[in-house]
């Protein structure tokens, strides 16, 4: 059992999907939090953080630009734990280097430099991604030893940004040998209820299924994890005495067919769920060809993931962080219900 003690924690990217849940858990546990945001003047965006229990007296927000080399200088004083959660997440952007890779890498190195220059930091927890582990599952059981070596600016550039950011973090540790240690959490598809109105990229997978964006059931398999469990993993990683290195963060895997069947069986048949099955060999071949007509990010994702068998081992995170994941079926249903609540999906007619 991990014992939690009060900390002063810095959280970058405080308005993000995972970060808001993490801050909620940190405040509920009695910690003091300082979070970085793009602007402290956008009251609407910051409102979900401001209303969290404990935020009035234990949450401070500061501005930080991920592209500024000294973005976090002076922001970490008094903190003993840093959670680096800020990073752009999009499949299609105009300039992958400028919009994805540069902010991810520069933001990571600038924050670690600030940690190096701030006395009292004892642990940094980095939100990495399964994108740093693989961009083309091949049926092998993935572990923390696996790295994505295939992504490039012209192939799954978001995945490349996560690889380079995490590689930069570990290289920083090797070079500077700081007094604090680094833990990386590598979540797979993070879905679940949102604390904000914004529709994040991960929950959009479920929304697209319900809104008819998928013309058919495709041969896709996702590693699924609940956003509340990902937040819990970050909180636990702060104090877990035996924690070290990387942690694959997922509850299990689910195919698109399984997700559609689950939603249809639990009251969502009135939405625009796909019915045509193109998840067999012939259908997959047809979809691969049709993918050429899609935007570059979607095309690259489909061509590297269609028909691929995804397997991943979560033994290490369950053991070291003493975490029990929610069943993925409940996570999918909670995500769908939340999408309805926020008005992101609507019934036919």
Average pLDDT, the chain: 94
Q: How confident is the model at residue 272 (pLDDT cuts 50, 70, 90)?
A: very high
Sign of CA dihedral 190, 198, 55, 13: positive
Q: What is the pLDDT of residue 275?
A: 95
Q: What is the pLDDT of residue 69?
A: 80
| pTM for the model | 0.94
Given a cut of 60, whether residue 201 has pLDDT beyond it is yes
State how far the Cα of 70 lies from the Cα of 68, in Å rounded to an integer. 5
Query: How many Cβ atoms from other residues are within 10 Å of residue 172's Cβ?
Result: 20
Q: How confident is the model at residue 5 (pLDDT cuts 50, 70, 90)?
A: low
Q: Per residue in 166-189, pLDDT tens?
A: 999 999 999 999 999 999 999 999
Percent over 70 (pLDDT), the chain: 98
Alpha helices for the chain (secondary structure H): 17-28, 43-50, 55-58, 96, 102-116, 157-176, 203-211, 227-237, 256-265, 281-290, 296-305, 315-320, 328-342
What mean pLDDT is predicted for residues 238-258? 96
- Which residues fall within 8 angstroms of residue 149, CB to CB, at 6 or more apart? none
What mean pLDDT is predicted for residues 232-242? 95
Q: What is the pLDDT of residue 349?
A: 65
Q: Per residue in 292-337, pLDDT tens?
A: 888 887 888 889 999 999 999 999 999 999 999 999 999 999 999 9
Contact 278, 220 (CB under 8 A): no
Packing angle, helices 17-28 and 227-237, rounded to 10 = 60
Given a cut of 90, whether residue 91 has pLDDT beyond it is no
Q: What is the pLDDT of residue 342?
A: 97
> One of 94, 162, 204, 311 is an active-site residue; which one?
162
- Going along the chain from its start, the domains and CATH numbers come out as 8-200+223-250+311-326 (3.40.50.720)
Closest residue by Cα to residue 126 from 163, 97, 71: 163
Reported as type and span, the H/E element at residue 187 is strand 181-187
What mean pLDDT is predicted for residues 145-149? 97
Query: How many Cβ atoms from other residues are within 10 Å of residue 53's Cβ?
Result: 9
Angle at 268 between CA 260 and CA 251, to 5 degrees: 50
Q: How confident is the model at residue 40 (pLDDT cuts 50, 70, 90)?
A: very high
Sign of CA dihedral 335, 336, 340, 344: positive
The single-letter DSSP state of residue 72 is T
Contact 48, 342 (CB under 8 A): no
What's the distance, Cα to Cα, between the start and end of the chain in Å?
51
Q: Active-site residue 162, yes or no? A: yes
Given a cut of 50, whether residue 1 has pLDDT beyond it is no
Cβ burial 71-93 (10 Å sphere, 16+ → b, else e): bbeebbeebbbbbbbbbbbebbb
Q: What is the pLDDT of residue 322?
A: 96
Measured in whole angstroms, the distance separating CA 189 from the mean position of its chain's CA atoms is 7
């Amino acid at each position: 059992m991990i014992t939690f003690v009060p900390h002063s924690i810095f959280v970058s990217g405080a308005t993000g999907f995972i970060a808001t849940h993490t801050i909620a858990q940190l405040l509920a546990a009695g910690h003091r939090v300082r979070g970085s945001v793009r602007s402290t003047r956008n009251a609407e965006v910051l409102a979900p953080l401001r209303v969290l229990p404990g935020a009035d007296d234990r949450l401070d927000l500061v501005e930080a630009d991920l592209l500024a080399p000294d973005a976090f200088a002076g922001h970490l004083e008094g903190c003993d734990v840093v959670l680096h959660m800020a990073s752009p997440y999009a499949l299609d952007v105009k300039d992958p280097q400028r919009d994805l890779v540069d902010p991810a890498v520069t933001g990571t190195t600038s924050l670690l430099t600030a940690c190096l220059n701030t006395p009292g930091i004892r642990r940094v927890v980095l939100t990495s991604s399964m994108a740093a582990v693989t961009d083309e599952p091949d049926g092998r059981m993935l572990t923390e030893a696996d790295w994505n070596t295939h992504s490039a600016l012209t192939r799954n550039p978001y995945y490349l940004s996560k690889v380079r950011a995490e590689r930069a973090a570990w290289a920083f540790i090797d070079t500077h040998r700081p007094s604090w240690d680094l833990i990386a959490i590598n979540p797979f598809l993070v879905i679940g209820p949102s604390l904000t109105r914004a529709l994040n990229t991960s929950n959009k997978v479920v929304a697209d299924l319900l809104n008819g964006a998928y013309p058919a059931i495709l041969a896709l398999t996702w590693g699924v994890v609940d956003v509340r469990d990902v937040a819990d993993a970050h909180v636990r990683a702060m104090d877990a005495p035996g924690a070290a290195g990387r942690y694959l963060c997922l509850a299990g895997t689910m195919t698109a067919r399984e997700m559609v069947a689950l939603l249809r069986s639990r009251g969502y048949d009135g939405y625009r769920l796909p019915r045509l099955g193109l998840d067999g060999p012939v259908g997959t071949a047809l979809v691969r060809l049709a993918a050429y007509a899609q935007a570059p990010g979607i095309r690259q994702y489909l061509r590297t993931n269609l028909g691929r068998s995804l397997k991943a081992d979560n033994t290490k995170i369950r053991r070291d962080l003493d975490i029990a994941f929610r069943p993925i079926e409940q996570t999918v249903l909670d995500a769908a219900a939340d999408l309805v609540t926020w008005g992101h999906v609507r019934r036919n007619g």
